[in-house]
Chain A
């Protein structure tokens, strides 16, 4: 369906639909006028997140500041029979924070307090709206950091990270979000407040934290997260290795890991990505004529690094690398990483929209799958670039497109399906870290049997029997805003042609 027509009531601050006025009044009583958005143009801004393939306007947006307010908002929505959608910074790439028709968006951005840091036990308790990078910044002076580092870490929130089980370049060595969450306070879909896990991480009972992390906002709303902190390594070396093409770069990555080395990160950028980055504010002097570059980071005890750097040099040379540059100082190291982490955004220079794919394949299959992915894009006349967590076999084929071009939009969706099928055929899975959201729910049967899906549905129902908490996400269901017909993907006009 397309965006609902603006309600005549919206301007006066009430909600459309029966009982809308009463719900608006109740929400206002909970979060105050300042914490409630109901005007049509305010809601317009919330119609999508990092995924712009489709869109849908919510009925209201609330900005709570406390767990009690979240619980009250949830109860008010329940009473009114209205679904709700948690949202962090809206950087998600699978549409997890996309509103569903008639929904209330619960935006956690005002819940951004770091409540406690326990340096001795290396834990921190944070509200869900704390920005990933802010947490690491705040504990740096203690010699600690928060290890999961999505490339969006300057903006994305811990709540969003927990919901998506986000990873990052350093997941290769340190693991994804799920390896760093000890306990979660959750407002359940019925408004009850639960505490899952234990602050020490000691296991007792069923591992409900494990179930909650990665549940994409469908099991409840995280209102407090206890995370594990990690000691900053004594020394870091960051290498930039220049390859003639993606295939040689992938082979080198495979060999490095095959020798038993555990780099902290191994990221590959292909030529198109290099060009986009070098044209952006994050230009880092990457060679534009390289077919691919590998950013490889080693960390640990200072004495252990030199031999590792040497070993990687050898492997790189054996795989036709033309150059291995070691970051000279912290500034250059930061530059390499900014180039990597700004890569998605930098692709804005290529076309108005970007569809960031996410799939994982066995590492040995990387060169073969990349070749297939390129072939698929070429066949559909699409502009594709690759930047990916090579060490994990986590691919991010990025397709640049223009949502105003209906034909192209159709080809993007078509190619997306084929890319996922190719990854699955190679023994892979359809998401590494961006989640299923609305984007991939219909591809789930590629990797799960009906019985698998049913087991997940039953778990979901144990938390949210009425399916009111972020409905329509992460499970194959009837479509909400999006139809397979791109014309009806929620954008109501395509002028300026």
Chain B
């Protein structure tokens, strides 16, 4: 008989909340794709419990399923028993990581990249700068032919890196416009601030246009989400500690983000570093959630388009924000918000998932594109960098007409275009 795994004790507590009702099954993209109980939330919780009790191997199916799982947390939204699946998955991955179960080349590369590049602003900036340079020279297409498949996919996902001025760092302080309503901090994140600099500029402008002074505190780091999802909880905790110190230096009305993945992680910081992270975590808000709560200033201009809003998992399932972005978009003159099937289902981006599990990611994306194409939008709005890249890839793959944007870009355009 296998040994019970003491390291899984906290995961085990979570599994005890599961009454095996199955109500989570159909929320799970990997279950829908495979029909296998083993690839369902209930099955994974059962495996976690089994491993903790020493009834199944830690490093067998559980290890495979812990990585086939998207970590989208749709099952958490569906679960009436409140099984804290996301946290249990992170812990399980960390235990697997520590047990040395996941030592494939790809896993080591991922971990190395995350620790040594993504977590360091200047290094990431250098790498992204190089990528932009390569893209402009057409070298990326050459590289695409020479690289192994998984890295080729990574390159295909990268949006065009904005050049020069568009990648200029955000001002440390941006004054409020009109009547002042408060002072907020902006957490820029790593990937978002490098590749999606125009989105971040839009976020700052929209917040300013709504009467908020926006501060971008110097010295802030990566949120640690990708590290935690990859099982490197230790590193994620370090990053959270650093950010808690940076954002604790000053008193802000709120700490805002425009990346759902980072937002969910920053909110989790309270769990990662109990006590230390609570103050920061309690102030974290997604930019859409915040604007909706304080009340959006009616845009002066228009945005004439048929728009589908697709929920990032880490916003709807991770932070429980579903109605706010839709309410904001409905206030934009000219915009027609059209519904598509299953907007809250994962698109298959899921952090680095599209690189580590390309096959399943493609299946999940195909479902998403079927739903979106049936609604035939001109614009697809979603508030997370990974999702934006993934959906852009999906749109390109289908030869569809839609542009993929962040909701704040729509708001920004509506403030800037004349009526």
State in angstroms the CA–CA spacing of A115 and B82 once bound together.
36
State in angstroms the CA–CA spacing of A282 and B80 once bound together.
6
Identify which of A90, A346, A353, A496 gathers the most chain B CB atoms within 10 Å of its CB: A496
Instruction: Say whether A299 faces chain B, with CB atoms less than 8 Å apart.
Output: no
Selecting from B54-62, B107-115, B183-191, B202-210, the interface stretch reads: B54-62
Instruction: Say whether A212 faces chain B, with CB atoms less than 8 Å apart.
Output: no
Taken residue by residue from 16 to 46, chain B's Cβ proximity to chain A (1 for < 8 Å, 0 otherwise) reads as 1111111111100001000111100001001
Instruction: Say whether B53 faces chain A, with CB atoms less than 8 Å apart.
Output: yes
Name the distance in Å between B46's Cβ and chain A's nearest Cβ: 5
Instruction: Say whether B81 faces chain A, with CB atoms less than 8 Å apart.
Output: yes
A493 touches B19 (CB 8 A): no
Query: Majority SS of interface residues in chain A?
Result: loop
B35 touches A107 (CB 8 A): yes
B81 touches A50 (CB 8 A): no
Collect the chain B residues with CB atoms within 8 Å of residue A112's CB: 35
Identify which of B19, B35, B50, B52 gathers the most chain A CB atoms within 10 Å of its CB: B19
State in angstroms the CA–CA spacing of A496 and B15 once bound together.
13
A346 touches B80 (CB 8 A): yes
B50 touches A44 (CB 8 A): yes
Collect the chain B residues with CB atoms within 8 Å of residue A45's CB: 37-38, 43, 46-47, 61
The one of B17, B37, B50, B78 in contact with A90, judged by C-beta atoms closer than 8 angstroms, is B37
Which B residue's beta carbon lies closest to that of A345?
Answer: B80
Collect the chain A residues with CB atoms within 8 Å of residue B22's CB: 49-50, 89-91, 152, 155-156
A348 touches B53 (CB 8 A): no
State in angstroms the CA–CA spacing of A154 and B62 once bound together.
26
Instruction: Say whether A270 faces chain B, with CB atoms less than 8 Å apart.
Output: no
Which A residue's beta carbon lies closest to that of B341?
Answer: A137
Instruction: Say whether B415 faces chain A, with CB atoms less than 8 Å apart.
Output: no
State in angstroms the CA–CA spacing of A109 and B43 once bound together.
14
- Interface residues in A147-163 by Cβ distance below 8 A to B read 152, 154-156
- Interface residues in B35-94 by Cβ distance below 8 A to A read 35-38, 43, 46-47, 50, 52-57, 60-62, 77-83
A131 touches B26 (CB 8 A): yes
- Interface residues in A476-497 by Cβ distance below 8 A to B read 492-496
Collect the chain A residues with CB atoms within 8 Å of residue B82's CB: 279-281, 346, 348-349
Collect the chain A residues with CB atoms within 8 Å of residue B20's CB: 48-50, 52
A344 touches B80 (CB 8 A): yes
B38 touches A42 (CB 8 A): yes
A493 touches B21 (CB 8 A): no
B55 touches A345 (CB 8 A): no
With A44-B47, A45-B47, A280-B82 in contact, do A154 and B23 touch (Cβ < 8 Å)?
A: yes
Instruction: Say whether A440 faces chain B, with CB atoms less than 8 Å apart.
Output: no
- Interface residues in A96-118 by Cβ distance below 8 A to B read 107, 109-110, 112
With A37-B38, A493-B55 in contact, do A155 and B26 touch (Cβ < 8 Å)?
A: yes
Instruction: Say whether B101 faces chain A, with CB atoms less than 8 Å apart.
Output: no
Name the distance in Å between A90's Cβ and chain B's nearest Cβ: 6
The one of A37, A129, A277 in contact with B36, judged by C-beta atoms closer than 8 angstroms, is A37
Taken residue by residue from 421 to 454, chain A's Cβ proximity to chain B (1 for < 8 Å, 0 otherwise) reads as 0000000000000000000000000000000000
Collect the chain B residues with CB atoms within 8 Å of residue A154's CB: 23, 26, 78
Instruction: Say whether B301 faces chain A, with CB atoms less than 8 Å apart.
Output: no
- Interface residues in A270-323 by Cβ distance below 8 A to B read 277, 279-282
- Interface residues in A4-25 by Cβ distance below 8 A to B read none
Collect the chain A residues with CB atoms within 8 Å of residue B47's CB: 41, 44-45
Identify which of A42, A344, A494 gathers the most chain B CB atoms within 10 Å of its CB: A42
Collect the chain A residues with CB atoms within 8 Å of residue B62's CB: 41
Instruction: Say whether A39 faces chain B, with CB atoms less than 8 Å apart.
Output: yes
B23 touches A348 (CB 8 A): no
State in angstroms the CA–CA spacing of A45 and B54 once bound together.
14
Which A residue's beta carbon lies closest to that of B37?
Answer: A45
Collect the chain B residues with CB atoms within 8 Å of residue A354's CB: 19, 21
Instruction: Say whether A388 faces chain B, with CB atoms less than 8 Å apart.
Output: no
Collect the chain B residues with CB atoms within 8 Å of residue A344's CB: 19, 21, 80
B17 touches A352 (CB 8 A): yes
Instruction: Say whether A199 faces chain B, with CB atoms less than 8 Å apart.
Output: no
A155 touches B19 (CB 8 A): no
B21 touches A50 (CB 8 A): yes
Collect the chain B residues with CB atoms within 8 Å of residue A277's CB: 80
Name the distance in Å between A132's Cβ and chain B's nearest Cβ: 10
State in angstroms the CA–CA spacing of A342 and B83 once bound together.
13
Instruction: Say whether B198 faces chain A, with CB atoms less than 8 Å apart.
Output: no
Instruction: Say whether A63 faces chain B, with CB atoms less than 8 Å apart.
Output: yes
State in angstroms the CA–CA spacing of A352 and B45 once bound together.
12
Instruction: Say whether B303 faces chain A, with CB atoms less than 8 Å apart.
Output: no
Instruction: Say whether A145 faces chain B, with CB atoms less than 8 Å apart.
Output: no
B37 touches A347 (CB 8 A): no
State in angstroms the CA–CA spacing of A344 and B20 once bound together.
10
With A52-B20, A90-B22 in contact, do A495 and B53 touch (Cβ < 8 Å)?
A: yes
Collect the chain B residues with CB atoms within 8 Å of residue A346's CB: 80-82
State in angstroms the CA–CA spacing of A282 and B57 once bound together.
35
Collect the chain A residues with CB atoms within 8 Å of residue B18's CB: 348, 352
B21 touches A40 (CB 8 A): no
Collect the chain A residues with CB atoms within 8 Å of residue B309's CB: none
Name the distance in Å between B370's Cβ and chain A's nearest Cβ: 14
Instruction: Say whether A343 faces chain B, with CB atoms less than 8 Å apart.
Output: yes
State in angstroms the CA–CA spacing of A156 and B21 once bound together.
10
Name the distance in Å between B81's Cβ and chain A's nearest Cβ: 3
State in angstroms the CA–CA spacing of A49 and B42 once bound together.
10
A348 touches B9 (CB 8 A): no
Instruction: Say whether B4 faces chain A, with CB atoms less than 8 Å apart.
Output: yes
Collect the chain B residues with CB atoms within 8 Å of residue A84's CB: none
Collect the chain A residues with CB atoms within 8 Å of residue B31's CB: 109
Collect the chain B residues with CB atoms within 8 Å of residue A352's CB: 16-19
Instruction: Say whether A46 faces chain B, with CB atoms less than 8 Å apart.
Output: yes
Collect the chain B residues with CB atoms within 8 Å of residue A48's CB: 20
The one of A44, A89, A492, A496 in contact with B12, judged by C-beta atoms closer than 8 angstroms, is A496
Which A residue's beta carbon lies closest to that of B77?
Answer: A281
**Pairs A–B under 8 Å by Cβ, sample size 14:** A44-B50, A44-B55, A45-B46, A49-B20, A50-B22, A89-B25, A90-B22, A109-B35, A152-B23, A281-B80, A348-B83, A352-B19, A494-B53, A495-B4
Please name 19 further chain A to chain B contacts, defined as beta carbons within 8 Å, in addition to the given A112-B35, A346-B81, A352-B18, sorted by A numbering: A39-B61, A41-B57, A44-B47, A44-B56, A45-B37, A49-B22, A52-B19, A63-B35, A91-B23, A107-B35, A109-B35, A154-B78, A155-B21, A155-B25, A280-B80, A344-B19, A348-B17, A348-B18, A494-B53
Q: Which 4 A-B pairs have the closest CB atoms?
A: A348-B81, A345-B80, A109-B35, A342-B80
